[in-house]
Chain A
Amino acid sequence: MNKTFWIILFVLGLLAPFAVYPVLMMELLCFALFACAFNLLLGYSGLLSFGHAAFFGSAAYITGFVMTQWNFGPFSGIVAGTLFAGALGLVFGLLAIRRQGIYFAMITLALEQIVFFLSLKLPFTGGEDGLQGIPRGMLFGFIDLNQPLNMYYTVFAIFVACFWLIHRTVHSPFGQVLRAIRENEPRAISLGYNVERIKLLAFVLSATLAGTAGATKSIVFQTASLTDVSWHTSGSVILMTLLGGMGTLLGPIVGAFTVVGLEHELSGIGSWVTVIIGMIFIVCVLAFRRGIVGEIGRLWKRSF
């Protein structure tokens, strides 16, 4: 059953650009990946980071920078952005995981604000104009990413690869330990696990994957802007994860599709977008706290 389900999703993903506008689909996938990376931290390790936009946005800027200034190709551009986000994750992680709960959230938020102000003030970022005109270029020298379908399947491949990595991580012994820490940290310590190191590893992994999402997005939209590093983006990825169902593999994807899809579809009616998303969030928190996927999963288990 499970396998068939994933195969259906995969096929739908392959066919999606013919039914849905490809650029929208790419945006959905980038944010879905971002939310999945975030969920690895929140859903499986129980760490609420309020600064994930720092990794998402800085990777976008770095990818844009190396591609415009140093003429990197798209592949090495994304790798550069991803590695930078990973390194940044290591630094932030070392500082932040020493604290828990609200203090952890506040430290990550503070660090994210530093990244925001650096992005505003560093000479190469273009200030509030953002980094513009990032070339899509040729992937591996022969795939022209200016063709929408080529670009889409590249994004899709990146998404599938990262999602597979997350899937593997969650179901590995390492993932089990993460869950053990989430459920009962003192007990995990007493069992002999080096909790801080495991948390740090999860943090870095999550930051790296968030970086991949940001780097890919900067190539899709050919721009990196302050929005990508602002705390609004950190907030909306939390919203996506909670709405879809944290701690489920599919949840963040559903959440990202819901939030970004609504933002897109409702863009014609103006200020109601934020109101509607807010209402959905309230309903979600009050009525089904496990999120869309979490709740469906529970009903499924109950009835079969």
Chain B
Amino acid sequence: MKKLTRSLVCAAALGLSVAGPVNAAGISDGVVKIGVLTDMSGVYSAIGGKGSVVAAEMAVHDFGGTVLGKPIKIIAADHQEKADVGSAVAREWIDRDHVDMITDILNSAVGIAVQKLASEKHTITMNTGAGSTALTNKDCTKYGIHYLYDTYALPVGTATAMVKGGGKSWYFITADYAFGHSLQDNTAKVVKSLGGEVKGEVQAPLGTTDFSSYLIQAQSSGAQVIALANAGADTINAIKQANEFGIVAQGQKMAGMLVFLTDVKSLGLNIAKGLQFTTSYYWDRNDASRKFGDAFYAKFGKMPTMDQAGVYSAVLNYLRAVKAAGTDNADAVRAELGKMKIDFFGDTGHIRADGLNVHDMYLVKVKSPKESNPKHGHGWDLLQVEQTIPGDKAYMTLAQGSCPLAK
């Protein structure tokens, strides 16, 4: 038995050898590694998932495959919607694999955990999927960038545009927890500031499947706009049942506070038609977005969601910043990202000190089956871009925010 003990100890000791990386000027360890941390198996896998990895690889390809003469490598992992799994993977990526930038992320709890951790270890994160405004406020970090959208810009954009378009009276169906409440508060403020009125609100628990009583209250309130301050399955259920009640057909408008293209696709135009929401990317908006949309469709068989488009754009701009800075050193690249113009499918954004990428947003409306051309865009002709919401109107200003780095 003793012999066995000894040999086991020896075997374990053999595993000890850990080689340290040699830091050269320019690109550390001779390769730029980008980690796509996403949800591949859970509820958001259709929004990001494998499609995000494809988008990141397309960005590398379109950039030319190398930066400063060094190869670029994309690695990916599934965080399974768990903050501990996500931060364990991120730690390992940074400590062992020397990943230079982490993108996508797609879940607020994971997003904040990874952003904090990465900043402690001087690594840039470009968050496209998670929406919490905390990422650029109380939990903002030096190297954390919130790239695509936040839970302020989406509802506020929608509210501004809709009130100006005549939807003066509002009724809220709100998911009954912090996320839903903050969506409702942000939106209600804008509605009131523009002279609109909030006729009432009702709070539905997270995971409600039967929205009928809430919808009847909303319907009988006589409000012009029924706002859904919820997300995911809650939004989908509410929209389905609103359709059964004929709410949109009877003249009330439905506004989604957080809706993705895949939600519309899965609901179908018959049910979702007339729904308005804000997005930062729609494939059929301009030539640049169409070009990426078509290329993505050719590779993946679906049109990109705004998150997947965000990953593409984030990786591309990160590589541009590395090239301009002449190094993958996080401080230099972050400084460069703060200086340069962020090209987002023909739009121009800029990244502020709190890490927020300020860029234009778009109010869209779901087409009716008649308006949609099935031959256009492989059956993805789903949305009509109604209005452009300028970035400085869509996002919280630095003065409104609470990020200590920007004070």
Contacts and interface: CB of A to CB of B under 8 A. Distances in A.
A274 B41 contact: yes
Contact of B16 (A1, A18, A273): A18
B83 A18 contact: no
Given A11-B12, A128-B179, A270-B45, A4 B5 contact: yes
Interface string A1-24: 100100110011001101111011
Contacts of B88: 23-24, 27, 221, 264
A7 B5 CA distance: 9
Given A4-B1, A270-B50, A132 B113 contact: yes
Contact of A129 (B82, B95, B109): B109
Contacts of A12: 8, 12
Contacts of A267: 77-80, 85, 89
The CB with the most chain A CB atoms within 10 A, among B50, B75, B78, B85, is that of B78
Interface stretch (A84-92, A174-182, A187-195, A222-230): A222-230
Nearest to A11: B9
A227 B12 contact: no
A27 B178 CA distance: 29
A146 B132 CA distance: 27
B178 A221 contact: no
Given A19-B12, A222-B117, A270-B45, A264 B179 contact: no
A121 interface: yes
B176 to A, nearest CB: 8
Nearest to B81: A227
Chain B interface, DSSP helix/strand/loop, else mixed:
helix
B112 A121 contact: no
A263 interface: yes
B84 interface: yes
A127 interface: yes
Contact of A18 (B15, B134, B139): B15
Contacts of A11: 5, 8-9, 12
A127 B179 contact: yes
A217 B84 CA distance: 9
A1 B5 CA distance: 11
Contact of B41 (A15, A21, A270): A270
B221 to A, nearest CB: 25
Interface residues of A, number: 43
Nearest to A30: B84
B92 interface: yes
B206 A223 contact: no
B77 A268 contact: yes
A120 interface: yes
B116 A133 contact: yes
Given A8-B8, A273-B41, A223 B83 contact: yes
B87 A221 contact: yes
B243 interface: no
Contact of B116 (A120, A132, A227, A270): A132
Interface in B196-239: 205-206
A4 B112 CA distance: 45
Contacts of A273: 41, 78, 80
B139 A21 contact: no
Nearest to B111: A129
A263 B41 CA distance: 11
B17 to A, nearest CB: 9
Interface string A268-295: 1111111000000000000000000000
Contacts of A274: 41
A4 B1 CA distance: 7
26 contacts: A4-B2, A4-B5, A15-B12, A18-B18, A19-B16, A20-B15, A23-B95, A120-B177, A121-B176, A126-B178, A127-B178, A128-B108, A128-B177, A128-B179, A129-B132, A129-B139, A130-B109, A221-B113, A222-B117, A223-B84, A227-B82, A264-B89, A268-B77, A270-B41, A270-B50, A271-B40
Interface of B: 1-2, 4-5, 8-9, 12-13, 15-16, 18, 40-41, 45, 49-50, 75-85, 87-89, 91-92, 95-96, 108-109, 112-113, 116-117, 132, 134, 139, 176-179, 205-206
